Amino acid sequence: MRGQDLLHPRPEGLYCPPGDFFIDPVRPVARALITHGHADHARPGNTAVLATQQTLDIMAIRYGATFAQSSQAAEWGKPISFGDCTVTFHPAGHVLGSAQIAVECGGLRIVASGDYKRRHDPSCQAFELVPCDIFITEATFGLPVFRHPDSKAEVAKLLRSVSQFPDRTHMVGAYALGKAQRVIKELRDAGYDRPIFIHGALQKLCDYYQTQGIDLGELKPATLEKGAKTDFAGAIVVGTPSSFADRWARRFADPVAAFASGWMQVRQRARQRGVELPLIISDHCDWDELCDTIDEVGAGEIWVTHGREEALVRYCELKQLRAQPLHLVGYEDESE
Amino acid sequence: MRAFAELLDRLVLTPSRNRKLQLMVDYFRAAPDPDRGLALAALIGDLDFPAVKPALLRALMSERMDPVLFGYSYDYVGDLAETISLVWPTGDDGAGTELRLADVAARLMAVSRSDAGKVLTDLLDHSAASERFAILKLVTGTLRIGVSARLAKQALADFGSKPVNEIEELWHGLHAPYADLFAWLEGTADKPVPQAQALFRPVMLSTPMGDTDHTKLEPSDYAAEWKWDGIRVQVVANNGTYRMYSRTGDDISGSFPDLMQAVTFDGVIDGELLVGDPQGRTATFSDLQQRLNRKSVSPKVQAEFPVFVRVYDILQRGEEDLRGLTFVERRKHLKAFVSTLDPARFDVSRFVSFDSWAQLDEMRKHPPHPIIEGVMVKRWDSTYVPGRPKGPWFKWKRDPYTVDAVLMYAQRGHGKRSSFYSDYTFGVWSGPEDAPELVPVGKAYFGFTDEELKQIDKFVRDNTIDRFGPVRSVRADRTTGLVFEVAFEGLNRSTRHKSGVAMRFPRINRLRWDKPTAEADRIETLQSMLDA
Ligand SMILES: [Zn+2]
Ligand SMILES: [Zn+2]
């Protein structure tokens, strides 16, 4: 069996003919396997959904209980059969519940890794290396310039700024699923025990993480009474990046705009967004980790998708590995 | 190095002046000597590592990385130093012992051109990305962090709770790493006593007269004098040491042995250096250029282009500091003082008497001599205050349509000029006073002699910091760069240009090799012309 007979792109998403399912479809399909709960991977309206329990829970929080007609929870490492092929879910280390999906048929194994990272993250399961014949890798940060520093150092930078500017509100922009909880958890692990204020859009997902045993400490809603600017002086407020463009954000005391993202590696990106304190904290692999994973996974062929394919394809060429960009539509390049 | 790197990163992204000050003050408080003094020198552009050139950086990269991957990276980041800081392959990434700024600076300063690659490699191998960025920005001399020398001095003043002018006053007697300055500011030592003789005194500068500024002013409060088109100098003579400085404090005595021979007094005077004879003819600026930037001056050149100083102020007479006196008092001293000097080398700038602004405006537009570029307007009661205070002194230029702009990009010309960089994009300063940035305001080619064209071409090649196709980005910051006097026939509002203005028929009037980039015009000057 050739790789493209087992998995290939269709307008709806990555399709598996022998199993008759799609992985992370961008349009509603009869059977969807979902790697993780980010909105560009997990969409509502599919008939049947297979995903980890945590991903299913997250989809229910985001889209309501009716996000699909039926759903099935995949257990880590336990094969499930679809026709002639079997699929297995393995942790991807990206956000809580995120999975790589190994698809096997006729002796050929392809791993669709979804979004993944190799770094330690106290808010989710650690990435598991799954040997395979073809490895599908994301390339969000697939350029040699992206080399994420230790996130502990980034959190320390934030805490230094909080003590240096105790009269200002530190507003940390972080995506609602995964990044926000990770930043909060890393702050707690660094010994920050004051209440952390969160934008309303984060409440439900933070509550959910707490029920899953991720202790985020004391969280309070970042709602301002009129004329109470000084209330948040010296505090850390976490919100979604988009909320910081709202009027809501302009009511805080002389805010320091911080943003937790792998894109913050490049200064011009920080400048364009008006970020004063960039925090290079990413949900994705950096360049070195992408390369290491390609080296370690032992696949003879690499499909590169979801980002800057050309540099990783070039890397594979230099390593004399077969590689090709896999053109999937509908995934956001900018988000993480 | 870590703290310095973080300071740079934060200064770049912090828009507020007060927050920038706080970042610097906190750094000065926490960092040891001599690191903080070297950091200070770096911030104000006073650290120079001539052994490292961009070509060396490219060569180091090509040994280390696939050129295709480097190309993708550079395209994405757009800045050479930053790209290299990010992609530099290194195992420990900042683990292990931290480099100290002092060691980094010492090694880079001492290195020869042939060893520069080895030393730089070793430094980059032992630092993390943001430190690599700081090192590479230091060696390429392109910090661009929006800190002016004045702002850095204000931070020192805040740090030591001293008036900033007291620091200005000391400044030219001090040298990196400024340990004596920091000790005084921290209260652990007395105020440094400058060792050098005949020190430069920080100069008082004027602001441009806006079109309606004078309507709020009372003519009888002000003196007016012609603004001669030479270069501003300060002649200092103390205890047998004689110096002539440019207005930025560069010692230019060596180019003017003829004039220095006539400096027989004890005092400090401020005036315009011109070619000619005070009693007879005053020659053009291009004649004066024959005398500038020369290491040795032949007797022939001295005879052909004699120089003199048209004096307009006196800062010190003998032991007596006159700067606290009013302008009218200082001018009385000046008159008596200059009357004792060689009349072939010194004369006093004459007042222009006027009763109304309209009358002065008329005279300004029709000056009696072609080398006059307008009038200076000074309050009779103004004391001599270093810096550019708003209000006491104005310059009111003859032609409203010239500005001093800084060369930002150069492009190869066409036809017979295709081998030279002869098309220029220039900019003026914008943004907050203390964190200015250049914004392009126009593009023109240069219509002067081939010799001058060659000089600019060389400047462009020596100061290239980036290339995009046929265009080179030229080093242009508060301390380095080339100033053009740009003349134009009018100004339109423009939404297409970032600056908001578009010049009609801009041309490069004159090269101002002598003019510090920091003193090029600001965008507000152009905006006020728009409103006219
Ligand atoms: Zn994701
Ligand atoms: Zn994704």
Which three-class secondary structure string do you get for A285-301? Answer: CCHHHHHHHHHHHCCCE
Q: What is the pLDDT of residue A246?
A: 75
Mean pLDDT of all residues in B199-210: 88
Mean pLDDT of all residues in B371-386: 93
Is residue A33 within 8 Å of A87, Cβ to Cβ? Answer: yes
Mean pLDDT of all residues in B488-510: 78
Q: Does A145 touch chain B (CB under 8 A)?
A: yes
Mean pLDDT of all residues in B176-196: 91
CA A266 to chain centre: 19
Mean pLDDT of all residues in B404-409: 95
**Residue B295 pLDDT level (bands cut at 50, 70, 90):** confident
Cβ contacts of A275 on chain B, cutoff 8 Å:
13
CATH 3.40.50 in chain A, residue ranges: 151-279
Q: Of A257-261, B239-243, B403-407, which range is least confident?
A: B239-243
Is residue B219 within 8 Å of B353, Cβ to Cβ? Answer: no
Q: Do A267 and B12 touch (CB under 8 A)?
A: yes
Q: What is the pLDDT of residue B358?
A: 92
Beta-bridge mates of residue B234: B245, B270
Q: What's the gap in Å between A67 CA and the centre of ligand 2?
A: 19
Q: Of A144-158, B375-389, B483-497, which range is least confident?
A: B483-497
In angstroms, the CA A312 to CA A333 distance is: 15
- Nearest in space to B104 (alpha carbons), one of B29, B27, B41, B20: B41
User: Tens digit of pLDDT for each residue in A182-236?
Assistant: 999 999 999 999 999 999 999 999 999 999 999 999 999 988 666 565 578 899 9
CATH 3.60.15.10 in chain A, residue ranges: 3-145+284-325
Dihedral pair phi/psi, residue B436, rounded to 5°? -75, 150
Q: Do A267 and B15 touch (CB under 8 A)?
A: no
Give ion ligand 2 contacts, CB < 5 A.
A 115
Cβ contacts of B435 on chain A, cutoff 8 Å:
none
Dihedral pair phi/psi, residue A307, rounded to 5°? 140, -135
Cβ contacts of B15 on chain A, cutoff 8 Å:
276
User: Side chain identity at A111, as an amino acid letter?
Assistant: V
- Buried/exposed B130-153: b ≥16 CB within 10 Å, e otherwise: bbbbbbbbbbbbbbbbbbbbbbbb
Q: What is the pLDDT of residue B40?
A: 95
Q: What is the pLDDT of residue A334?
A: 40
Query: How wide is the angle at C-alpha B263 spanned by C-alphas B258 and B267, nearest 5°?
Result: 155
In angstroms, the CA B265 to CA B340 distance is: 9
Q: Does B76 touch chain A (CB under 8 A)?
A: yes
Dihedral pair phi/psi, residue A263, rounded to 5°? -65, -20
Dihedral pair phi/psi, residue B299, rounded to 5°? -55, -35
Q: Do A164 and B65 touch (CB under 8 A)?
A: no
Cβ contacts of B73 on chain A, cutoff 8 Å:
143-145, 311
Query: Which are the contacts of B220, defined by CB distance < 8 A and separation ≥ 6?
Result: none
- Nearest in space to B372 (alpha carbons), one of B395, B351, B398, B394: B398
Domain A3-145+284-325 has CATH 3.60.15.10: yes
Q: For chain B, what percent of residues have pLDDT higher than 70?
A: 96
In angstroms, the CA B492 to CA B474 distance is: 26
Q: Which domains does chain B have, with CATH numbers?
A: 2-140 (1.10.3260.10), 207-397 (3.30.470.30), 401-531 (2.40.50.140)
ipTM score assigned to the predicted complex: 0.94
pTM recorded for the entire structure: 0.76
In angstroms, the CA B134 to CA B142 distance is: 10
Q: What is the dihedral of CA A191, A197, A199, A200, to 10 degrees?
A: 110
User: Side chain identity at B314, as an amino acid letter?
Assistant: I
Domain A151-279 has CATH 3.40.50: yes
- Nearest in space to A146 (alpha carbons), one of B82, B361, B188: B82
Is residue A142 within 8 Å of A208, Cβ to Cβ? Answer: no
Mean pLDDT of all residues in B452-458: 85
The chain-wide mean pLDDT, for chain A, equals 92
Q: Does B119 touch chain A (CB under 8 A)?
A: no
**Residue B196 pLDDT level (bands cut at 50, 70, 90):** confident
| pLDDT greater than 60 at residue B131 | yes
Q: What is the pLDDT of residue B415?
A: 61
Strand duo A31-33 + A21-23: pairing:
parallel
User: Side chain identity at B493, as an amino acid letter?
Assistant: R
Is residue B347 within 8 Å of B338, Cβ to Cβ? Answer: yes
| pLDDT greater than 70 at residue B96 | no
**Residue A329 pLDDT level (bands cut at 50, 70, 90):** low
Q: What's the gap in Å between A336 CA and the centre of ligand 1?
A: 6
- Nearest in space to A286 (alpha carbons), one of A119, A128, A156, A174: A119
Cis link prior to B34 (omega < 30° from 0)? Answer: yes
Kindly state the helix (H) or strand (E) to which residue A309 belongs, with its residue range.
helix A309-318
Candidates B6, B72, B78; nearest CB to A268: B78
Give me the DSSP letters along B61-76. Answer: HHHHS-HHHHHHHHHH
Is the dihedral angle over the CA atoms A142, A144, A149, A154 positive or is it negative?
negative
Q: Is B489 exposed, middle or buried (0-12, 13-18, 19+ CB in 10 A)?
A: exposed
Q: What is the pLDDT of residue B93?
A: 52
Q: What is the pLDDT of residue B448?
A: 63
Query: How wide is the angle at C-alpha A239 spanned by C-alphas A96 and A289, nearest 5°?
Result: 45
Q: What's the gap in Å between A335 CA and the centre of ligand 2?
A: 7
User: Which of the pair, A90 or B208, is modelled with greater confidence?
Assistant: A90
Is residue A57 within 8 Å of A208, Cβ to Cβ? Answer: yes
Beta-bridge mates of residue A99: A91
**Residue A336 pLDDT level (bands cut at 50, 70, 90):** very low
User: Tens digit of pLDDT for each residue in A103-143?
Assistant: 999 999 999 999 999 999 999 999 999 999 999 999 999 99
Q: From residue A62, give the alpha-carbon distance in Å to each of A69, A201, A307.
A: 16, 10, 25
Is residue A291 within 8 Å of A315, Cβ to Cβ? Answer: yes
Q: Does B73 touch chain A (CB under 8 A)?
A: yes
Q: What is the pLDDT of residue A251?
A: 78
**Residue A47 pLDDT level (bands cut at 50, 70, 90):** very high
Candidates B15, B72, B93; nearest CB to A311: B72
